[in-house]
Amino acid sequence: MTNVIVNPTSISQKLILASQSPRRKELLAQLGYQFSVQASDIDETVEKAERAYDYVLRLAKQKAQHVLDLLPEAERVNSYVLGSDTSVVFNGEILGKPDNIEDCINTLSLLSDNQHQVLTAIALASQAGVQGQVVTTEVVFKTLTKAEISAYWLTGEPQDKAGSYGIQGIAGQFVKTINGSYSAVVGLPLYETAQLLATAGFVGSIHTK
Ligand SMILES: Cc1cn([C@H]2C[C@H](O)[C@@H](COP(=O)(O)OP(=O)(O)OP(=O)(O)O)O2)c(=O)[nH]c1=O
């Protein structure tokens, strides 16, 4: 998407969401920010012995920095780029997006009747540097049968999602409890994102001054 809307509160600043995720676009728009979207194309391979926390933070920062670096120099001066990454983690293992039904069955069988963590990192890149943080949410799933998982795969929902599920969709019924940030599980933590942007001088739809 290439439409650029200038932030009305600060005509010289531009916010860009470095993401192809429709969920992240919706969540950022929900807060009242005006922004453009530019997907970032980076290598998402996990480094040897890299911990999930370090991995998501590195990727969020790289996504943001990559899009900032692609901007013409004159634009870069006034631009702030938001990047994010979400991983589902079980027993320290990063469970990515499924390549096929077997992947989906393996992943959701691990999550069945168990607790896992969803780690979402956000990062804001500008000429001043890149700032980021990680939000961790604990999720407990009900018991899932193989038949249920196979039927879930056929809905098409798990395909583009970390951990093979979407809490905001059909998989909402798998979730017994959640401790942390619902929006972070969907892809963008609302509270932390607003804080990060406010620190950089952006305001959403709520003006207190
Ligand atoms: C766990 C979970 C993940 N997800 C999604 C959020 C992310 O879009 C995706 C995780 O993959 P990411 O690699 O974080 O993001 P992405 O490839 O979709 O987009 P981009 O890198 O361009 O920002 O999984 C849900 O929508 N619901 C969920 O419950």
For the residues of 12-27, what is the DSSP string, one character each? T-EEEE----HHHHHH
CA 164 to ligand 1 center in whole angstroms: 10
Does any ligand 1 atom lie closer than 6 A to the CB of residue 24? yes
Label residue 209 by pLDDT band (50, 70, 90). low
51 touches 25 (CB < 8 A):
no
* Closest C-alpha among 149, 3, 121 to residue 59: 121
Instruction: Please work out whether the CB of residue 85 comes within 6 Å of at least one atom of ligand 1.
Output: yes
In ligand 1, the atom with minimum distance to the C-alpha of 120 is: 14
Mean pLDDT of 126-136: 96
In a domain, 140, yes or no: yes
Residue 166 belongs to domain spanning: 14-199
Rounded distance between C-alpha atoms, residue 101 and residue 56, angstroms: 24
Ligand 1 atom closest to the CA of 40, numbered from 1: 22
Query: Is the per-residue pLDDT at 160 higher than 70?
Result: yes
Expressed in angstroms and rounded, the spacing between residue 207 Cα and the centre of ligand 1 is: 30
Within a domain: 188: yes
Residues with Cβ within 8 Å of 170's Cβ and at least 6 positions away in sequence, in order, are 152, 155, 157
Per-residue pLDDT for 111 more than 50? yes
Mean pLDDT of the region 140-150: 98
Closest residue by Cα to atom 5, ligand 1, is 161
The answer, as to whether pTM is greater than 0.90, is yes
Structure tokens at 97: 């997006």
ipTM of this predicted structure: 0.97
Catalytic residue among 85, 103, 113, 160: 85
99 is a domain residue? yes
Q: Please count the CA atoms within 13 angstroms of the CA of 180 that sit on its side-chain side.
A: 21
- pLDDT higher than threshold 70 for residue 58: yes
The answer to whether the beta carbons of residues 23 and 84 sit under 8 Å apart is no
Q: Note whether residue 52 is domain-resident.
A: yes
Q: Is pLDDT of 127 > 80?
A: yes
Pocket test of ligand 1: the residue of 43, 104, 141, 161 to mutate, having most ligand atoms within 8 Å of its CB, is: 161
Number of domains composing the chain: 1
CA pseudo-torsion sign 37, 43, 47, 52? positive
Quick check: is 45 in a domain?
yes
- Is residue 197 classed exposed, middle or buried when 0-12, 13-18 and 19+ CB atoms within 10 A define those classes? buried
- Residue 2 included in any domain: no
Residue 144 pLDDT > 90, yes or no?
A: yes
pLDDT of residue 11: 52
CATH for 77: 3.90.950.10
Any domain includes 32: yes
The neighbouring-strand residues paired with 124 are 82, 131
Instruction: State the DSSP code for 33.
Output: -
Is residue 111 a part of any domain in this protein?
yes
